[in-house]
Structure 1
Amino acid sequence: MDGWGANTFGQLGDGTTTDRATPVAVTGLAGAVLTTAAGGGHSLARLSDGSVQCWGNNSNGQLGDGTTTSSATPVTVGGLSGVNAVAGGANHSLALLGDGTVRAWGANASGQLGDGSTSDSSAPVTTGGFPDTVIKVACGGGHSLALLNNGDVMAWGDNTSGQLGDGTLNDSSTPVAVQGVANAVDIAGGSGHSLAVLADGDVLAWGANGSGQLGDGTTTNNPHAAAVVNLTGVTAVAAGSGGNFSLALIGDDGSVQAWGDNSSGQLGDGTTTDSTAPVAVQNLASAVSALSAGSSHSLALLSGRTLQAWGANGSGQLGDGTTTDSTSPVSVTGESGIVSLAAGDAHGLAV
């Protein structure tokens, strides 16, 4: 497993706090890594034995090891087993267990752990109140999302911009139903907005929209789920926990559409102009099979299991050996055979 980009908190897991413009190996992992996820300044790995390890920023307990001490090498999340998936927010983390229940740890000022409190936790707590089995989890900046087996979506935590989608601006420390979303197949959370892909390939978005990240042609916040314009055939979406833009993977041809903030070229259309409607990412080397979004950069897994990235690169988060922003995709150096990827605020991870 490798990491690159910002390393202020040790989020690359190489035992240092030195930024890296090309990938370096994560050291000290306790076993084989199946999938990875990234938060604002921390990283997560799901191991083959169903346990989870984390590293990087731990100011709110987001590493889950019972402390608030940051770590430049992996530490084990206490009391977790049988984990099927992990997700990282700005300063909190989620784990989906094999039985369809959810555990959360880290920052909780807005209720983003979903345990009915607003107290941070440096160890996993149970997120409650789901009427059906959870099959996917996602984190925004200070909010969390769950996709249920019946296709409904629930959300909890920060709701300042309507990112919980319940029609209010009230934070919630327990899950609430996102109104108007049914038959969803994928979810994603941004800094203050949320996304859902429906079974028919349409995309709904809600929450903050100051940069056009809802893709509805406006810059008006919306606490109700509304359709992203001019977008069909989508199979997956991505948005970073620190980001104000959105990405969508088109299933038929593996192309990518993007919208919202483009100040660093993170939409990949060759410009730095924000867009309130989807635009095509240009010059991808081949079809894309998976996406991840950081604060201001984007990361794509190509059909040949190599990586490309675009957008902000001040910390080397594009992994191309430079610190120069790019408005179109560049290759991440030396990465091949990749099966899982993740983008943090300003770093990248690959397994």
Structure 2
Amino acid sequence: WGRNNSGQLGDGTMMDSPLPVVVTGLTDVQSLSGGLFRTCALQLDGVVQCWGSGMTSPQVVAGLGTSTAIIGGRGHNCALADDGRLRCWGDNSKGQLGIGNTTSTDIPTLVPGLENVVHVMAGQEHSCAHTASNQSYCWGKNLYGELGDGTRLSTTLPSLVLNAADQTKLVGGWIHTCARSANGTVSCWGDNMEGQLGNGFSENFNTPQTVIDVRLGLLSDGFE
């Protein structure tokens, strides 16, 4: 329900709706991922379907194979395959696809240099992945330090997050990132003007900062 000017409700129309409407043609959905004008669904069989951005009903995303996870940023999406490799597509104006350039594409494209990815996340215009080797990588826009690599330089390829050896799950806000470690502690980095990093300060940080007095089993993130 809600705004539907780009077909983002997936009901075959572009009419706004204040009430829930059925997304047409979807079955056996295991997870969803939303962006600014587009939504994607991962089915139990590993097929990804997306709608919005002018498509009023779900369309299968070709070239992905069997997917195990999907994420969505402001205008881009990524899908994790069952072989541990990551493919991204959509807006790439800040390098958020991680494919070595800033050319946007509707074709899912392999993110080079990443193997055995076990978890992925997307922010506004950045993306991150955690690998089985217990390392985290981020790429894309880095104006506020949201990549966590100790710089504020945007990058079109995966960049290693500093001090991330114990991370097990990543979540993304609009322009900040958080991670949960194996012992339940949480660290965050990036935009902190509203105190969203939880470290007692209101300045931006480009490396992971421990959230004060927090141990979690589950972790979720929001806009700010």
Alignment of 1:175-324 (within 5 A): 175-232=158-215, 234-240=216-222, 243-244=223-224
Deviation at 1:183, TM superposition (A): 1.7
Give the aligned residue type for 2:35.
G
The residue aligned with 1:21 is 18
**How many residues are matched?**
224
In the alignment, structure 1 residue 92 sits paired with structure 2 residue 76 = yes
User: Match of 1:296?
Assistant: none
Please tell me whether residue 39 in structure 1 is matched to residue 35 in structure 2: yes
Partner of 2:9: 12
**Residue matched to 1:129:** 113
> Which amino acid in the other structure matches residue 14 of structure 1?
D
What residue is the counterpart of 2:123 in the other structure?
140
Q: Does residue 77 of structure 1 match 2:73?
A: no
Deviations, residues 164-215 of structure 1 (Å, cap 9, x unaligned): 0000011111101100112211111111100100011010000011111111
- 2:19 partner letter: T
- Contact 1:46 1:53 (C-alpha < 8 Å) held by counterparts: yes
> Quick one: distance in 1 between partners of 2:202 and 2:36?
24
Extract structure 1 runs of 4+ deviating beyond 4 A: none
- 1:137 deviation in Å? 0.9
Cα distance in 2, alignment partners of residues 149 and 230 from structure 1: 27
Say which SS state the counterpart of residue 9 (structure 2) adopts. coil
Query: What amino acid is the match of 1:183?
Result: D
Structure 2 letter corresponding to 1:38: G
Q: Which runs of 5+ in 1 are unaligned?
A: 58-69, 245-351
By how many angstroms is 1:99 displaced?
Answer: 0.4
Q: Say whether residues 1:157 and 2:154 are aligned partners.
A: no
Deviation at 1:150, TM superposition (A): 2.7
What amino acid is the match of 1:181? A
Relative contact order (C-alpha < 8 Å, sep 6+): which is higher?
1
Q: Secondary structure at the match of 1:229?
A: strand
2: CA distance between counterparts of 1:239 and 1:23? Answer: 24
Measure how far apart 1:145 and its partner are. 0.7
Distance 2:19 2:10 in 1: 14
User: Is the 1:186–1:236 contact (alpha carbons within 8 Å) kept by the matching residues of 2?
Assistant: no
% identical equivalent positions = 39
Give the secondary structure class of the aligned counterpart of 1:235: coil
| Deviates further, 150-159 or 98-107 | 150-159
List gaps (5 residues or longer) in structure 2.
none
Note closer, same or farther for the CA distance 1:20–1:215 as it changes in structure 2 (3 Å cut): farther
CA distance in 2, matches of 1:22, 1:151: 43
Q: 1:213-258 CA deviation, whole Å, 9 max, x = no partner?
A: 11112210000100111211x1232224xx11xxxxxxxxxxxxxx
Q: What's the TM-score, normalizing by structure 1?
A: 0.62
The code of the aligned residue for 2:205 comes to: N
Distance 1:151 1:40 in 2: 31
Residue number in structure 1 paired with 2:96:
112
